Structure formats: C-alpha cells, structure tokens
C-alpha cells in the first residue's frame, strides 16, 4: 500500500521509506530503555522492521519535522483484518506539541485504508501519558488475552474497533 504524505503544521505524516530503519530503531530504543529494558522481541523487530513488520502485511507510520523523524509507530498484522499498534513513540524534544496525537490519528487512518476492522495494543501502566492518549482516541481497556503477551512489561491491553473495511 502506498500512502501519500500529509503535511500538518510543518509535520510530515507518512509511511515507511527505505532509510527509516535506523531512526525507527533509535527512537524506540530511547523510550523503551528509559522506562523498561529492551526485550528480545524488541530487538528482533527494531533490528529488522522490514522482515518483522512490513513483509507480514504491516506498516510503519512516521512523523517527520524538517527532515528529522520525531515520531513513529508500527501497525503489525496479527489476524486477517486486525492490526496491533506497537512501537509508538515521539522524540523527547517533540513531546507535548501534539505530535503523538497527530501520529495516532494518522496511524488509525492508515489502518482503515489497510482494511483493518480492529486495532489492538499492549502497554504498561508506567506509560500513563500514552494510555491517556489511546483512551482519548477511543481505545477501550480489555482483559488480558488468554495467550501470554510477547512482552514481559505488558499489563495494559486495549482495542479500537474500526468498523467495516
């Protein structure tokens, strides 16, 4: 799927391009290391997002300001019409400026274009600001799934029904 870039207030919202791998990894390593520890599943995805996200029908959404990636999130295919919103972060220098909210709205739009009927996410209570953002976007808390999470840190589970494709 090819998504046209969208510019909002000097912020370019777009999907993954070759060359984004390093910035995607650095942005995610920063927030994960700040709050938690980088787990083996994080390392796999961050070291090769093409193989672990894109090649399985997923997408990566990017927020860029003046040529610098200031935010990103992944849409990981988990079922035929379900995506997991994961690896969402905003650079510390851009936090509090609305980048996260705009990036999340963009990711939801991309998920709809991809035909997703449901977005799922896992988080942690230590990421309180992110959880509030998800709640404001319409995500609802759900019980932990029957299968164990791939992340040791996951203790919050949420979903956003997207309706028809």
Gap between the Cα atoms of 157 and 122, Å rounded: 5
pTM reported for the whole predicted model: 0.91
- Mean pLDDT of all residues in 50-71: 96
Is residue 125 over pLDDT 80? yes
Report the share of the chain in percent with pLDDT over 90: 88
Kindly report, residue by residue over 63-117, the tens digit of the pLDDT.
999 999 999 999 999 999 999 999 999 999 999 899 999 999 999 999 999 999 9
Kindly report, residue by residue over 133-147, the tens digit of the pLDDT.
999 999 999 999 998
Neighbours of 15 (CB within 10 A): 20
**CATH code of the domain occupying 6-117:** 3.40.630.30
């Amino acid at each position: 799927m090819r998504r046209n870039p969208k510019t909002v207030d000097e912020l370019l919202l777009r999907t993954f391009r070759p060359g984004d791998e390093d910035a995607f990894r650095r942005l995610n390593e920063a927030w994960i290391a700040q709050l938690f520890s980088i787990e083996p599943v994080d390392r796999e995805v961050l070291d090769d997002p093409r193989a672990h996200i894109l090649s399985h029908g997923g997408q990566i959404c990017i927020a860029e300001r003046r040529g610098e990636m200031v935010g990103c999130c992944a849409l990981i295919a988990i079922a035929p019409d379900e995506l997991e919103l994961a690896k969402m972060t905003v650079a510390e220098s851009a936090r509090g400026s609305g980048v996260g909210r705009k990036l999340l709205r963009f990711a939801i739009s991309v998920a709809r274009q991809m035909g997703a009927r449901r977005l799922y996410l896992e988080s942690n209570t230590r990421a309180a600001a992110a959880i509030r953002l998800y709640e404001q976007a319409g995500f609802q808390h759900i019980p932990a799934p029957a299968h164990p999470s791939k992340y040791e840190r996951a203790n919050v589970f949420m979903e956003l029904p997207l309706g028809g494709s």
